[in-house]
Amino acid sequence: MPNVSPQPDQLQVLAFDIFGTVVDWHGSLKAEVEALYPGIDGDAFANAWRAGYRPAMARVMSGELGWTRIDDLHRMILDSLLPDFGLAHLDEAARVHLNRAWHRLNPWPDSVAGLTRLRRRYTLCTLSNGNIGLLADMAKRAGLPWDCILSAEVFRAYKPDPRTYLGVASTFDLRPDQVMLVAAHHDDLEAARGCGLYSAYIERPLEFGAAHVKDVSPVAGNHLHAASLEALADQLGC
Amino acid sequence: MPNVSPQPDQLQVLAFDIFGTVVDWHGSLKAEVEALYPGIDGDAFANAWRAGYRPAMARVMSGELGWTRIDDLHRMILDSLLPDFGLAHLDEAARVHLNRAWHRLNPWPDSVAGLTRLRRRYTLCTLSNGNIGLLADMAKRAGLPWDCILSAEVFRAYKPDPRTYLGVASTFDLRPDQVMLVAAHHDDLEAARGCGLYSAYIERPLEFGAAHVKDVSPVAGNHLHAASLEALADQLGC
């Protein structure tokens, strides 16, 4: 696919990465943990929890674990993490409640407004490794206006498996180049381009917190690069 | 499960049958066919198309056909039906367009208002044998305010397979008795009850058209019985 912007009339579906792209997992988890357990380093806790995510998915995709929802992977990581933060004493109810913090992540300030504008022209879906129930709970709480919630759980494969990106096109009976992935992560976007989708990078310099600012410089290959979802709506004329 | 109404605080998710319950497939198809092909008997055409639906799904569930989306089953039925109505001459583009009439079905007059009220208290999802793309297109066009689109396509089984009803509960990590199926078809509701879900029957006397009025008398077993989705919202205090 040539590295040119898609024609707005060609695109039909925008598929969104969620964790970090649409919602602020770090800030939300940090705030929950610090409110529940004063004295805990919420910044370190949030980043440690998230750091366990890729290794856990790798165990599923390698076949070491059978198909496992992210809710259950998050819980496995949480259980292994609690002793490091002096929270080994948390009981089952407290762990269940804390694990569901991932269902209560807050959107970035531009997300709802940007999505609302983009939805006037395009079909908007999630394409997240998060499970369907997590994504539906999050959307209902945060007012994220999806037309459809798609997830690794639907395709029984985690991104960056091609079945996920091609699965979006197939779900809507479209060619891959009628779909654009919107994400704050270059590896996700690169895998989508490898399947023939268009790609839009969203700058989220504070994804890992103010103490760990992320480089959001443009990278060759992405078809669009925007500072926010409102800026993406501007670029697509919505 | 006792045949008593669920406590509103116990229910978390309402899962909706779509064809006939939320949208008027007969009236919508009849109007499309008659507008496209004047002189065709749209009433008979719509009912013949729908009559092929269960036998086609049975071929999938028996293993005779591999997993097949409803879009493709609708097309197989359509192709077999056209000669009977003097439309064997329709070309590929015309058949593709006509087949997508199922994506353009209109809601019953009470559907959007009823769903909007119910959504304030409950998580609303589809549970239809229609494929995800069909349901998402329909929802976007008609303004149906789903929190989540679930489909036979997610569970790789058609209703009344228990995997579909239990799949809704599992998706949201709920017990079956925290979910209620809302449908205009007793067999669907009976199968859901067999899995431990609550059941609400919606009267749709004109599902098959004014020339074929359906008996909508109450049947023992259903937990709720309502004349419309607005009436259901009344019963649930929404």
Please tell me whether residue B148 adopts helix, strand or coil conformation: strand
Alpha-carbon distance of A225 to A233, in angstroms, equals 11
**What pLDDT does residue B2 have?**
45
Q: Measure CA of the first residue to CA of the last residue in chain B; give whole Å.
A: 24
Looking at residue A215, what is its pLDDT? 97
- Chain A residues whose CB is inside 8 A of the B137 CB are 123, 172
- For residue A9, is pLDDT > 90? no
- Residues A125-135 have a mean pLDDT of 98
Which secondary structure element, helix H or strand E, spans residue A125, and what is its range?
strand A123-128
At residue A6, does pLDDT exceed 80? Answer: no
What does the pLDDT average to over B144-149? 98
Q: Which of A71, A149, A153 sits opposite B149 (nearest CB)?
A: A149
> CA nearest A130 in B: which residue?
B171
pLDDT at res. B71: 97
How large is the average pLDDT for residues A60-85?
95
Q: Is the pLDDT of residue A78 over 60?
A: yes
Identify the band that residue A1 occupies on the pLDDT scale cut at 50, 70 and 90.
very low
The pair of three-digit structure tokens given for residue B212, joined into one six-digit string: 């074929």
For residue A150, list chain B residues with Cβ-Cβ distance below 8 A: 132
> Among candidates B48, B46, B47, B72, which has minimal Cα distance to B60?
B72
Are the Cβ atoms of B154 and A171 closer than 8 angstroms? no
Question: What does the alpha-carbon distance between residue B114 and residue B8 come to, in Å, rounded to a whole number?
Answer: 16
How big is the CA angle at B60 (ends B56 and B61), to the nearest 5 degrees?
A: 115
pLDDT tens sequence across A173-219: 999 999 999 999 999 999 999 999 999 999 999 999 999 999 999 99
Map A182-217 to HEC letters.
EECCHHHHHHHHHCCCEEEEECCCCCCCCCCCCCCC
Distance from C-alpha of A55 to C-alpha of A97, rounded to nearest angstrom = 23
Which of B147, B164, B175 to mutate to probe the A interface, most A CBs <10 Å?
Answer: B147
* Three-state SS at B105: coil
Bridge partners, residue A181, by sequence:
A15, A199
Is A171's CB within 8 Å of B147's CB?
no
pLDDT at B3: 54
Spatial CA neighbour of A180 closest among A204, A153, A201, A156: A201
Residue B44 has pLDDT above 60, yes or no: yes
Average pLDDT value for chain A: 95
For residue A28, what are its two tokens?
């939300």
Check whether A3 has a pLDDT greater than 70: no
Q: Which two tokens stand for residue B232?
A: 């259901």
Q: Which domains does chain B have, with CATH numbers?
A: 13-24+105-235 (3.40.50.1000), 25-104 (1.10.150.240)
Mean confidence (pLDDT) of chain B: 95
pLDDT, tens digit, for every residue of A87-100?
A: 999 999 999 999 99
Q: How far is A172 from chain B (nearest CA, A)?
A: 5
Are the C-beta atoms of residues A190 and A221 closer than 8 Å to each other? yes
Q: How far apart are CA B96 and CA B87, in angstroms?
A: 14
CA A139 – CA A144 distance, rounded (Å): 5
CA dist A209 to A44, A84, A107, A205, A229, Å?
Answer: 10, 20, 14, 8, 19
pLDDT digits (tens, 9 = 90+) for B182-235: 999 999 999 999 999 999 999 999 999 999 999 999 999 999 999 999 999 999
For the whole model, what pTM was predicted? 0.95
Q: Is B146 helix (H, G, I), strand (E, B) or coil?
A: coil
pLDDT band at A2 (very low <50, low <70, confident <90, very high): very low
- Residues in chain B within 8 Å Cβ distance of A171: 131-133, 136, 153
Report the DSSP beta bridge partners of residue B148: B125
- Per CB-CB distance under 8 Å, the chain B contacts of A148 are 132, 135-136, 139, 149
pLDDT at B83: 98
Q: Would the CB atoms of B147 and A132 count as touching at under 8 Å?
A: no
So what's the pLDDT on residue B116? 98
- Residues A170 and A150 sit within 8 Å (Cβ to Cβ): no
**B109 has a pLDDT exceeding 50:** yes
Q: How far is A52 from chain B (nearest CA, A)?
A: 22
Q: Which of B132, B135, B148 sits opposite A136 (nearest CB)?
A: B148
The shortest C-alpha distance from A66 to chain B (Å) reads 17
Tell if the CB–CB gap between A136 and B154 is shorter than 8 Å: no
How large is the angle between the packed helices B70-81 and B92-99, nearest 10 degrees?
A: 120
User: Which pLDDT score is estimated for B4?
Assistant: 62
Residue A4: what pLDDT? 62
DSSP annotation of B16: E
Best to test chain B binding among A140, A141, A166 (most B CBs inside 10 Å): A140
The pair of three-digit structure tokens given for residue B215, joined into one six-digit string: 């008996």
**What ipTM was assigned to the predicted interfaces of this complex?**
0.94
- How large is the average pLDDT for residues B115-119? 98
A43-55 pLDDT tens trace: 999 999 999 999 9
DSSP tag of B84: G
